[in-house]
Structure 1
Amino acid sequence: MARAGFVAVLWSVLLCLAGGCASTAVTPADSPATLDAVTLNLWHDKQDWPRRQDAIVADLRARGPDVILLQEVLQDAALPNQAQVLASRLGYQYRFFSADAPTQARRYGNAILVRGTIEASREVKLAPLDDYRNAGWVRTTVDGRPLNVYVTHLHHTPEGGAIRAEQIAGVLTLIGETAGDAPSIIGGDFNARSDMPELAPLRARFAEAYSDAHPGVDANVPVHATLNPHLGHAPVRIDHVFAQRDAFRVVDADIILDQPDATGAWPSDHYGVWVRLMYSDVPRR
């Protein structure tokens, strides 16, 4: 080492010993200010799941979201749990939630994947119990910040608004029992447009991210659909991410996984929704 370089290093060491070095401890204020989340209905094992799986993994790996919320997740005797497979390929931790008994070979439900560590989890069945709907929760820490993540998949019939309202009440009860002081996000397939009355109790406390990211436009017209019209669905946006109003500001949101691969295969019969949130304790720039 040249003498000038040695002297510079020596002075740096002396300054550190004298208390002149800044702490390198990671605190919430030091950690990234944004949180990225994706929700996607997997369409269980329909059509060519291995090909669809590759397309989903490629897209999510490129985006690197902090949180991934999945619906219509399936496992069977000859089919490894789809959330477990995706989590393994992407390097995430996961929890799977199902109304089916754990002893069943074939189980169907929802899942949460996180880039951080899962510290606690819980699932609840939603009324009416014969509708086989549930909601799941995990507490995680992402970049030094605690976070509650919830996933659900609500009743599907157009005339079932009252059933969905009852299920939203169940989701809100779960949030009340688990959220504590940490901020919360909720995502999933709500089988309803974001402006439907059955979602009003959720909108009262949580911002619907996609609509907030597109002010001044009607975010519920067909151009913003998450149901894939190329696979026979009416073009409606029913997949949403909600963020706690006093904890986050919505930065951006987009429809993703909305293109077929080179063979014409679609990732799912739903498009995904990607959102970027900023913590409210981070000053605006």
Structure 2
Amino acid sequence: MLLYAALLPAMAWAGTGPGSRAGEATPEFSVVTLNLDHDRDDWPRRRVQIVETLRRLQPDAIALQEVLQHEDLPNQAAWLARELGYESHFVTTDPPSHKRRHGSALLTRDPLLEQGETLLHPLEDHRTAGFARVLVGGHPLNLYFTHLHWAPDGAATRAQQLSDLLAYVDATATGAPSVIAGHFNADVAAPELAALQERWEDAWTALHPTAGVEESSTLNPAYFAVPASVDHVFLERGHLLPLAAKLLFTAPDAEGVWASDHRGLLVRFRFAGPAE
């Protein structure tokens, strides 16, 4: 299945801009989630591959984790947004006065109608969740993005952070369908993500139900010995229907430089019709 997905024409993955969505009764939308791995390794070269790929695919939204800025590094999300012509919404627990700030971000092709963020507990873990609302063919869509606790033995912490995130969704969704994307540091079947099961559908799992661990892994095997699918795009059941999902950055560039220590995940979905 993965090989087949990799051979799909690039135009099948191109984002559907406002013009092409305006007359659709059930408009489509595409979102990428990608862990940037801060500025480790050769970021100036890595970012070239990332920009070229995203510019070709033109996803409607891009969720980024491990976004960094410091004295010698402009905010990575803001830089990518400028290169791609997107809007950027960066969230972090680091105050604006700090020269070094790290967090997550969302890039969107369409203007943001509303945006926000919330802190996730425990506060000493320095985790956040971000929110943005966009208009898709006249339909509001909520986009939530996050990066949960990293430690293998941190299931309880991730469960608490997810609980905070879902409470934030309930407080801000205002009846519009929602997407949750990001780096969860857990497989979709992990107990700490159980709270998602009733209301949310993992797009990759829905479209690739028989895919093995290795072909589903979002961890770059050049960096991680053990495969795992830890980056997800969750769609609200009954409101958003997955159409396609593929992994990005599955090979290095011509010089052998990888885009990141993670693979990206691109998901395309549509709004459910009234009878679905």
TM norm structure 1: 0.86
CA distance in 1: counterparts of 2:140 and 2:94, whole angstroms = 30
1:264 maps to amino acid: G
**2:256 counterpart (264, 278, 281):** 264
CA distance in 2: counterparts of 1:67 and 1:238, whole angstroms = 19
Matched, 1:223 2:215: yes
| Paired position in structure 1 for 2:227 | 235
CA distance in 1: counterparts of 2:58 and 2:29, whole angstroms = 11
Q: 1:40 to 1:26 in 2, by over 3 A?
A: closer
**2:190 counterpart (189, 196, 200):** 196
C-alpha displacement of 1:202:
1.4
Structure 2 unmatched runs, 5+: 1-18
1:144 maps to amino acid: G
C-alpha displacement of 1:252:
1.0
Per-residue CA distance 1:118-177 (angstroms, 9 max, x = gap): 121111111111111110001111333211101100011111111100000010011011
CA distance in 2: counterparts of 1:271 and 1:78, whole angstroms = 26
CA distance in 2: counterparts of 1:257 and 1:237, whole angstroms = 15
Structure 1 unmatched runs, 5+: 1-24
CA distance in 2: counterparts of 1:28 and 1:199, whole angstroms = 35
When Rg is computed on C-alpha atoms for both structures, the one with the higher figure is 1
1:235 maps to amino acid: P
**2:161 counterpart (167, 172, 189):** 167
C-alpha displacement of 1:203:
2.1
1:101 maps to amino acid: P
CA distance in 1: counterparts of 2:44 and 2:275, whole angstroms = 44
Paired residue secondary structure (1:103): coil
Per-residue CA distance 1:77-109 (angstroms, 9 max, x = gap): 111100001111111111000011121111000
| Paired position in structure 1 for 2:146 | 152
CA distance in 1: counterparts of 2:147 and 2:103, whole angstroms = 8
Paired residue secondary structure (1:84): helix
Paired residue secondary structure (1:80): coil
Matched, 1:178 2:172: yes
| Paired position in structure 2 for 1:136 | 130
C-alpha displacement of 1:29:
5.2
C-alpha displacement of 1:282:
7.1
| Paired position in structure 2 for 1:17 | none
- Over the residues paired in the alignment, what is the CA RMSD in angstroms? 1.9
CA distance in 2: counterparts of 1:27 and 1:222, whole angstroms = 35
C-alpha displacement of 1:254:
0.8
Per-residue CA distance 1:179-225 (angstroms, 9 max, x = gap): 0021110100000001101111112211100000113x145x12211
Select between 224-233 and 25-34 the one with higher mean Cα deviation: 25-34
| Paired position in structure 1 for 2:239 | 247
| Paired position in structure 1 for 2:205 | 211
Instruction: State whether residues 127 and 170 of structure 1, in contact with CA within 8 Å, keep that contact through their aligned partners in structure 2.
Output: yes
Q: 1:252 to 1:30 in 2, by over 3 A?
A: closer
| Paired position in structure 2 for 1:58 | 52
**1:107 counterpart (101, 105, 111):** 101
Per-residue CA distance 1:247-282 (angstroms, 9 max, x = gap): 111111111111100000000000000111111027
2:220 maps to amino acid: N
| Paired position in structure 1 for 2:4 | none
Matched, 1:117 2:111: yes
Paired residue secondary structure (1:230): coil
TM norm structure 2: 0.89
Q: 1:54 to 1:143 in 2, by over 3 A?
A: farther
